[in-house]
Amino acid sequence: MNRNAAIEELLRAGWSDKAIARRLHVHRNRPRDMRRALGLPTHKGGPTPAASIEDLFWRRTQPTDDGHLLIPNYDPHRGAAIRHNERRQSMHRIAFRIAHRREPEGRVASGCVHPDHVEDRTMRDTYQAIFGDAA
Protein backbone atom coordinates (compact mmCIF):
# COMPACT_ATOMS: atom_id res chain seq x y z
CA MET A 1 0.00 0.00 0.00
CA ASN A 2 1.44 3.40 -0.90
CA ARG A 3 1.73 6.16 1.69
CA ASN A 4 -1.10 8.30 0.33
CA ALA A 5 -3.49 5.36 0.48
CA ALA A 6 -2.33 4.57 4.02
CA ILE A 7 -2.80 8.20 5.08
CA GLU A 8 -6.28 8.28 3.56
CA GLU A 9 -7.23 5.03 5.30
CA LEU A 10 -6.12 6.36 8.69
CA LEU A 11 -7.82 9.71 8.10
CA ARG A 12 -11.11 7.96 7.37
CA ALA A 13 -10.60 5.79 10.47
CA GLY A 14 -10.57 8.93 12.62
CA TRP A 15 -6.87 9.23 13.42
CA SER A 16 -5.38 12.64 14.17
CA ASP A 17 -2.93 14.25 11.75
CA LYS A 18 -0.17 14.06 14.36
CA ALA A 19 -0.75 10.35 15.05
CA ILE A 20 -0.72 9.57 11.32
CA ALA A 21 2.52 11.51 10.82
CA ARG A 22 4.18 9.60 13.66
CA ARG A 23 2.86 6.23 12.51
CA LEU A 24 3.81 6.62 8.84
CA HIS A 25 6.93 8.76 9.33
CA VAL A 26 5.71 11.64 7.19
CA HIS A 27 5.78 15.40 7.78
CA ARG A 28 2.93 16.51 10.05
CA ASN A 29 1.47 18.76 7.32
CA ARG A 30 0.96 15.92 4.84
CA PRO A 31 -2.06 14.33 6.60
CA ARG A 32 -3.51 17.81 7.20
CA ASP A 33 -3.22 18.70 3.53
CA MET A 34 -4.75 15.38 2.44
CA ARG A 35 -7.60 15.86 4.96
CA ARG A 36 -8.40 19.22 3.35
CA ALA A 37 -8.14 17.80 -0.19
CA LEU A 38 -10.53 14.96 0.72
CA GLY A 39 -12.97 17.39 2.36
CA LEU A 40 -12.76 15.63 5.73
CA PRO A 41 -13.39 17.63 8.91
CA THR A 42 -10.48 18.47 11.18
CA HIS A 43 -9.78 15.96 13.92
CA LYS A 44 -11.30 16.82 17.28
CA GLY A 45 -8.60 16.52 19.93
CA GLY A 46 -8.79 14.84 23.29
CA PRO A 47 -9.61 11.31 24.31
CA THR A 48 -12.14 9.35 22.33
CA PRO A 49 -15.42 9.39 24.27
CA ALA A 50 -16.48 6.09 25.80
CA ALA A 51 -19.29 4.33 23.97
CA SER A 52 -20.83 3.10 27.21
CA ILE A 53 -20.35 3.16 30.95
CA GLU A 54 -18.99 -0.38 30.72
CA ASP A 55 -16.41 0.74 28.16
CA LEU A 56 -15.35 3.55 30.48
CA PHE A 57 -15.14 1.07 33.40
CA TRP A 58 -12.63 -1.10 31.50
CA ARG A 59 -10.62 1.98 30.47
CA ARG A 60 -10.35 3.13 34.09
CA THR A 61 -9.29 -0.18 35.61
CA GLN A 62 -5.99 -2.01 35.47
CA PRO A 63 -5.65 -5.81 35.87
CA THR A 64 -3.19 -7.22 38.39
CA ASP A 65 -1.22 -10.47 38.25
CA ASP A 66 -3.42 -12.05 40.93
CA GLY A 67 -6.73 -11.62 39.05
CA HIS A 68 -7.97 -8.41 40.67
CA LEU A 69 -8.57 -4.97 39.17
CA LEU A 70 -6.92 -1.77 40.39
CA ILE A 71 -8.32 1.71 40.00
CA PRO A 72 -5.31 3.94 39.25
CA ASN A 73 -5.37 7.27 41.13
CA TYR A 74 -8.10 5.95 43.46
CA ASP A 75 -9.11 8.51 46.10
CA PRO A 76 -10.88 6.85 49.07
CA HIS A 77 -12.48 10.18 50.00
CA ARG A 78 -14.29 10.38 46.67
CA GLY A 79 -15.09 6.69 46.37
CA ALA A 80 -14.79 4.35 43.42
CA ALA A 81 -17.12 6.08 40.98
CA ILE A 82 -16.99 7.37 37.42
CA ARG A 83 -19.01 9.96 35.55
CA HIS A 84 -20.60 9.15 32.19
CA ASN A 85 -23.27 11.21 30.43
CA GLU A 86 -23.45 13.59 33.40
CA ARG A 87 -24.29 10.73 35.78
CA ARG A 88 -21.95 9.53 38.56
CA GLN A 89 -22.04 5.77 39.10
CA SER A 90 -20.31 3.42 41.52
CA MET A 91 -17.69 1.23 39.89
CA HIS A 92 -18.82 -1.68 42.07
CA ARG A 93 -22.39 -1.41 40.73
CA ILE A 94 -21.08 -1.19 37.15
CA ALA A 95 -18.92 -4.28 37.75
CA PHE A 96 -21.97 -6.11 39.10
CA ARG A 97 -24.03 -5.23 35.99
CA ILE A 98 -21.18 -6.45 33.75
CA ALA A 99 -20.98 -9.81 35.53
CA HIS A 100 -24.66 -10.51 36.23
CA ARG A 101 -26.47 -8.56 33.51
CA ARG A 102 -28.95 -7.10 35.98
CA GLU A 103 -29.17 -4.23 38.42
CA PRO A 104 -27.86 -5.07 41.89
CA GLU A 105 -30.21 -5.14 44.84
CA GLY A 106 -28.98 -3.20 47.83
CA ARG A 107 -25.34 -2.43 48.45
CA VAL A 108 -22.67 -4.08 46.29
CA ALA A 109 -19.97 -5.51 48.53
CA SER A 110 -16.37 -6.20 47.62
CA GLY A 111 -12.89 -4.88 48.20
CA CYS A 112 -12.16 -5.29 44.50
CA VAL A 113 -14.03 -3.98 41.45
CA HIS A 114 -13.45 -7.06 39.31
CA PRO A 115 -16.89 -8.16 38.00
CA ASP A 116 -16.32 -11.71 39.28
CA HIS A 117 -15.61 -10.43 42.81
CA VAL A 118 -18.75 -8.41 43.55
CA GLU A 119 -22.05 -9.48 45.10
CA ASP A 120 -25.32 -7.80 46.02
CA ARG A 121 -27.68 -8.23 48.97
CA THR A 122 -29.65 -11.05 47.29
CA MET A 123 -26.49 -13.09 46.76
CA ARG A 124 -25.30 -12.49 50.34
CA ASP A 125 -28.71 -13.51 51.71
CA THR A 126 -28.64 -16.69 49.62
CA TYR A 127 -25.16 -17.61 50.88
CA GLN A 128 -26.27 -16.91 54.45
CA ALA A 129 -29.35 -19.14 54.05
CA ILE A 130 -27.28 -22.01 52.61
CA PHE A 131 -24.15 -21.85 54.73
CA GLY A 132 -25.35 -20.02 57.86
CA ASP A 133 -22.61 -18.55 60.03
CA ALA A 134 -19.94 -20.67 58.32
CA ALA A 135 -19.92 -18.38 55.27
How far from chain centre, in Å, is Cα 1? 32
**Beta bridge partners of residue 134, listed in sequence order:** none
Distances (CA, A) of 70 to 100, 107, 109: 20, 20, 16
Average pLDDT, stretch 9-23?
Answer: 91
What is the model's pLDDT at position 51? 85
pLDDT at 123 over 70: yes
Q: What is the pLDDT of residues 93-116, one digit of tens each?
A: 999 999 999 999 999 988 789 999
Least-confidence region, from 25-39, 67-81, 111-125: 67-81
Beta-carbon count within 10 A of 18 CB: 13
Q: What is the pLDDT of residues 29-61, one digit of tens each?
A: 999 999 999 999 998 887 777 889 999 999 899
Question: How far apart are the two ends of the chain, measured CA to CA in Å?
Answer: 62
What mean pLDDT value characterizes the chain? 90
What is the model's pLDDT at position 75? 78
What is the model's pLDDT at position 50? 83
Helix (H, G, I), strand (E, B) or coil at 95: helix
Contact status, residue 113 vs residue 91, Cβ threshold 8 Å: yes
Q: Which helix (H) or strand (E) holds 70?
A: strand 69-70
